[in-house]
Every structure is written in structure tokens, then in C-alpha cells.
A and B are shown apart, each in its own frame.
Chain A
């Protein structure tokens, strides 16, 4: 659906080219929720804006739905942008227009629907985001979460195939973030919309994304299904994001459990395996004792997962390890 071929972007600052995005290949599939995570200045905002050409690439080719976006003229670009919705960190609603007029704006600009058809569509959209009672209010009268819902309704107005989310939840409190993310997941499911979102919070990725790209210094340094990247981070930047999400502080991470006896394993469960009564049965069969040193059980999008760090003592350690390895569990020996 979205294809980047060796796309790169540099900004010219006082006679020098500062690279914002190094040559990048990327494919995003139809109906996918694709997350891009990185610290500020990593190039994620540039990458997102290249998709609807709010930024013009310095080189490379971008194809969307077989159409070469990089080759569009001004009129073609305007028509193309009408099929790509976008929401923003600071909502970017027009303070001079009511909620209904804000949502109607993209339809008015496209100029394809009659006044009454626009009104019907706006009412539908406001109902979808749960704001039907706020149609005649001004943005200043709404809470942050409500403003972002208006932003989402506005972005969906022209029935786009792609929704770009620029740090859409970064200005919201955790509870509101959760409800906005839930709305995005719902839209993705029900409308089959492709969503590309950028964020600096791993938690946002974990809740809604199918795949994630981790960016650092203008390059994608890690890319894969969220569960894989989240549970087995490879790159230092990814590891840092995962730690932040799990609220592991630095000291704890560097603790090599020096004072703990026995063999130390880290088990990672995914899906159904998370709820299987594995520890008890292995302990009974092999006679090992275990103590749990660290652990977490949670969900990645709709998939449950667990990650446990165990110390095993006594009994047949190798047999226990083999049993874990044979079960549907990812095993790492830490010591």
C-alpha cells in the first residue's frame, strides 16, 4: 500500500545539508496499524510527512496504492491529500469554527458534496467519535480528548484510505490516551483503514500497532511485529524504549542477581502459552525449585504475553530447561 524506495530527506541549514531521513526502504500493508517510534529529532515526523508530501523528499520514490506520489503535480497532490487523513499532537482545529464546521471543512474544500449531504456526513462522523451533542460548540469549550476526537472525525470526513497520526496522544493524559487509542483501533477494524502513527511512547505502540519501526538518527534501526520487537529488542534504542515502557529503572536492569543461587532463565510466553500452567508441572516433573526474580504479564494489542525471570535450584536443571524449551516458550539463559 505504502512503498518507500530509497527515500531520503535533507534540510539545508545555513549552506549545509542536514540529513533528517537517510535513504530508507519501507513497505506498509493495507489495513495495517504501523507505528514509528523514536526520540525527537530521530526523523519520524519527517518520515510521516513524506507520506502526504507535506515534506518533499530530497530523493527516492514513494508509491501509494500504485500511484507515484513523488511525481504528482500540484492539482494531483491536492486530490491525493484528500484521500489521506491526518491528526496532530495539538489537534490543529480551527478555533473560529464550530465542531461541526471543523469536521465539514475537508468536505467543503473538496467541493464534491452538496450542503445537505455534508451535514448528514458530519452528523455520522460526530456520532462515530461520540460527540453528537457537541456539534455547535467551539474547540475552546472541549477537553483535550474531545478535541482529538474532533480531529479524528475531521480526518475521516473524506473517507480516506490512510490515516496519519502525528503524536496524536502525546498531549493527552493516560486515561484519555487509552480511549483515543481504542477509537483508532476500532476505526482500523471497522473501516479497514491503514494507520501510520508516530510516537515516543512504547506503550502507544504496544496497545494498537501491528508492526513497529524504531528510528534513530534518521534511520530505521529495527522493524518487525510489535511482539517480536517488544519482547526481544535488539538495538540499544529499542531496548531503552522497552525499559521505559516497563518502568524498569537502570539499576534494576544492571542487576545480575549476583546474590541469587542457581541457574537464571528468562522465559517469554506469548498468546495461549501465557495462561498454561507450565511452571508448576515442570517443577513437579524435574524436581527443581524455582523462585521468580522479575516478571510481567500484559497484552500487546490483543495478544497476551508474559515474561518471567526465574532462578532454578536443585533437581534436574537441564531437564527442566529442555522442558521449557520444548513448550511454546522463548528461553534465554542469563546465567
Chain B
């Protein structure tokens, strides 16, 4: 078996693949965590200040919306490069896992916030009205009605964002971000070792599959409709 693997994949260094996988997972975990922490409140704010909502604020919504759209329209590869000075300021380096997380978070947060906004809009207006009629404050409406009702949609948003982040981590390999993407670029592209490329692609595929099925299960678990 070992002999067969070595013959088929002569250039693959499994230890290095292992480290790279761990790097990818920690980049994904770290950036997903911060994306949710920043994107969830941003999504709620976008929803509340949006047209015909509880806290309709045309100027604020317009400003936030523009910021989100600008960040979303910058291609991630460009964002990676543009972010380098800021990343150095925050983490002290623009390389490795630590250097990759800030651009990943900045790239994914606007995307996730929009998905959260959409999930909240799916909540029946009647439920908001019923909660208002009970004498709930806006804060109470958000925490006791909106977020619980939108939970399946929010889990779906987290899943889609996580998968987007997987492909972003691969891109961050271009600027020395580490992880499986980095491996694919350095060995697969620069040294033309297609076996390394194939292994990293398969590992990324497996990761995406796992994320999607875990996400789907969470959505089903929290759907009571």
C-alpha cells in the first residue's frame, strides 16, 4: 500500500500535507469565528435600519449598504494585497495563519452580514408585530423573536460563509498565507507537481463536503416548521 502510494504520488510529503491541513483548519476556524462575531450584529443592524423596518434609518442603512457593497465588489485577491499594511498593524505579520485571518474576516464579514439580513427578512412580519403587541423592546424582539426564528437561516448562512472561506484560505496561499492553498501554489503550480495539487484539491473537497453536511444537519435540527 505504502509502495503504491509512493509510486503514484512521488512528490507528496505527508507531514507537510498534515501541517498545511492544520493551518487551513485554524485559518478557517479563526476567520469564521471573527466573521460571525462581527457579521451577525452588522446583519441585524442592516435588517433593523432597512426599508420599512422597525428602525428605518435611510442614511445609516445607505452608508452601511454602500460599505458592504464596496467590500464585496473588491476581488478577494486584490483585498489580500490591499490589506497587507493593516494586517501588519493588527497582527504584526502579513504571513502565515495570523497574517491570513484579517483579510479573510474583512472579505467574508460583508458577505455573511448580507446573508444574515436576508435570513432575518424571511421572518414573518406578523411574528414581529405579535411581539411588539406584547410590549417588547426592540432589543427583546431581536433576541427573543427574530434571532430564534431566523436560526435555521443563520446556520445556512454560516455554512455558505465557511465554504467561501475555504476557497479564500486557498487564495491567501498566493501571498504566503500558508495552508493547503499555499502548498498547491508552491508545489503544484510553481514546481509543477500535479500529484501535490491533486491531494490538496481532494482534501479541500472533503473539507467542503463535511462543512456542508454538518451545516445542513444543523439547519434541519433547528427548523421547526
Which residues of A come within 8 Å of B, CB atoms?
52, 54, 77-82, 84, 86, 88, 90, 92-97, 105-106, 108-110, 138-140, 158, 164
Contact = CB atoms under 8 A, between A and B. Distances in A.
A294 to B, nearest CB: 42
Nearest to B145: A94
The dominant DSSP class at the B interface is helix
B126 A90 contact: yes
Contacts of A80: 135
Contact of B132 (A79, A81, A96, A140): A81
Given A96-B224, A108-B144, A81 B135 contact: yes
**Which of A77, A80, A105, A138 gathers the greatest number of chain B CB atoms within 10 Å?**
A105
Interface in B96-135: 124, 126-127, 129-135
Please name the 7 residue pairs, one residue from A and one from B, whose CB atoms are nearest each other, closest first: A81-B135, A92-B130, A92-B126, A82-B135, A78-B135, A86-B133, A106-B134
A93 B225 CA distance: 11
Interface of B: 124, 126-127, 129-137, 140, 144-145, 148-149, 151, 222, 224-225
A56 to B, nearest CB: 12
B129 A140 contact: no
B133 A54 contact: yes
Contacts of A52: 133
A74 to B, nearest CB: 8
Contacts of B127: 92-94
B140 A96 contact: no
B224 A95 contact: yes
B124 A96 contact: no
A95 B225 contact: yes
Contact of A140 (B124, B130, B131, B225): B225
B133 A138 contact: no
A109 B134 contact: yes
B137 A96 contact: no
A108 B135 CA distance: 11
**Which of B127, B133, B149 gathers the greatest number of chain A CB atoms within 10 Å?**
B133
25 contacts: A52-B133, A54-B132, A54-B133, A78-B136, A81-B133, A81-B134, A82-B134, A84-B133, A86-B130, A86-B133, A88-B126, A92-B124, A92-B126, A92-B127, A93-B130, A94-B127, A96-B149, A96-B151, A105-B131, A109-B134, A109-B140, A109-B144, A138-B224, A140-B225, A158-B134
Nearest to A79: B135
A96 B222 contact: yes
Nearest to A110: B135
Contacts of B136: 78, 109
Contacts of A86: 130, 133
Nearest to A90: B126
Contact of B224 (A105, A108, A109, A140): A140
Contacts of B132: 54, 81
Contacts of A97: 148
Nearest to B141: A109
Nearest to B150: A96
Given A109-B140, A139-B224, A96 B148 contact: yes
B149 A95 contact: yes
Contacts of B137: 78
Contacts of B131: 105, 109
Contacts of A78: 135-137
A138 B221 CA distance: 13
Nearest to B126: A92
Nearest to B140: A109
A5 B132 CA distance: 24
